[in-house]
Chain A
């Protein structure tokens, strides 16, 4: 029997990939509920087909299912992202109000820019910035070459820069 059908093994695979997969779908749709639903669907498919999917193929299976499930979906919604809390509370209280305001304004411009760029560029860019994925990992998960990933990230930066400069 395939090891994927073992509950402990499957749980391990789940914990390893669920967060990045949910995020990937969120970057595409901008809708948390849909992203969670599609993530759950993908894992259920893996669980139901566990005997035909060996462990080493599980990740590729999940991403393939997730990508294909997005075909008939509602139009892209706006993505909303927050900043992580800085780990050093002392440094925050030392920041002057002007700096904080500037940061908030920049955040607004940045989010607006991220939402306005091309979907493929956005997804690759956020997979790198938020999930910390290396270019070859992104290439693997999206089924494209590393060069193609570099192109998307390069263009994303150019477009984001343009959008921020043109803001308001």
Chain B
């Protein structure tokens, strides 16, 4: 029999009305309420975060120290070259741009090429050297619209994609690497393979095997600017999960049904999304806070 930790559920306002009434009959209920309310007010001492951060950043691995044996001029030349290289490196570092998208966002690169990052994707590139060497690092999924010009490279942990003026989509995560070419030509280099893709061609790397396919789309589905997701005969549970994931909220509900949902739900308007589901299933929306909702049977 599965244990039901009632007090933990009570603390989180998860008890049903019946269960709550039962608990209220307990002689210790007032004490529990006091514990709940007073514990919410507790706090810890604050501390100097800025100071800690400074100490942390300063604690980088120590660079190797070359001891100079005074008379040897080769050492001195090497030291000054190292100094110059170090300065250039620092200079390079200062112009490194890192962009992490918390939600879909579009970025214009110095040469007017466009990168549209999907949620949680990130890119890193050097803005100063961009026009000499168009190379960036990608994590996650992004759609590229590249201006004609010299080489344009997208480096990922799974492989590198090089292009001339073109439009393509790259998706890279731990074990996934997918490239779709929507226009022009791209070269995809992975550990064991090199593939050239032209318009309409796509490849996916799974377990080190390359799978080729084609697409009739002219741009990736996720870049759809209508901000709407279409469902067809989807279960109530799945709809709720999709809304939770899309808007990063939690939706509690005791409602169960076999009635499936067919229709469109917006991905840029939580209130409307909830209204649609609520009216479809004749439920009431209760807002607990900006990230917690409940759908109840009225």
A interface list, Cβ under 8 A from B: 1, 3, 6-11, 14-15, 18-19, 22-23, 26, 32, 36, 39-40, 43-44, 47-48, 54-56, 81-84, 103, 106-107, 110, 125-126, 128-130, 134-135, 147, 149-154, 157-158, 160-161, 164-165
Contacting A at CB under 8 A, from B35-65, are 35, 38-45, 47, 49, 52-53, 55-57, 59-61
Can you give 26 A-B contacts (C-beta < 8 A)? A3-B98, A3-B122, A10-B57, A11-B53, A14-B53, A18-B53, A22-B47, A40-B55, A44-B56, A48-B59, A48-B61, A55-B122, A56-B120, A84-B41, A110-B38, A110-B39, A130-B43, A134-B12, A135-B8, A147-B3, A149-B8, A150-B5, A152-B8, A153-B8, A154-B6, A157-B35
Q: Mark B100-131, 1 if CB is under 8 A from A, else 0.
A: 10000000000000000000101010000000
B44, B59, B124: the one within 8 Å of A81 (CB): B44
B interface list, Cβ under 8 A from A: 3, 5-9, 11-12, 28, 31-32, 34-35, 38-45, 47, 49, 52-53, 55-57, 59-61, 96, 98, 100, 120, 122, 124, 137, 139, 250
Task: Note all chain B residues with C-beta closer than 8 A to A83.
Answer: 38, 41-43
A84 to B41, CA, bound (A): 5
When C-beta atoms are compared, the residue in chain B nearest to A11 turns out to be: B53
A161 and B31 within 8 A (CB): yes
Beyond the given A40-B52, A157-B8, A164-B35, could you list 20 further A-B residue pairs with CB under 8 A, ordered by the A residue number?
A3-B100, A3-B139, A6-B124, A9-B100, A11-B53, A14-B53, A18-B49, A18-B53, A19-B49, A22-B44, A22-B47, A32-B45, A32-B47, A39-B52, A83-B38, A129-B42, A147-B5, A150-B8, A153-B5, A153-B11
B8 and A130 within 8 A (CB): no
A135 and B122 within 8 A (CB): no
Count of chain A to chain B residue pairs whose CB atoms are closer than 8 Å in the complex? 123
Task: Note all chain A residues with C-beta closer than 8 A to B31.
Answer: 161, 164-165
When C-beta atoms are compared, the residue in chain B nearest to A160 turns out to be: B35
Nearest CB on A from B136, distance (A)? 11
A130 to B137, CA, bound (A): 39
A47 and B35 within 8 A (CB): no
A110 and B47 within 8 A (CB): no
A77 to B43, CA, bound (A): 17
Task: Note all chain A residues with C-beta closer than 8 A to B60.
Answer: 47-48
B39 and A47 within 8 A (CB): no
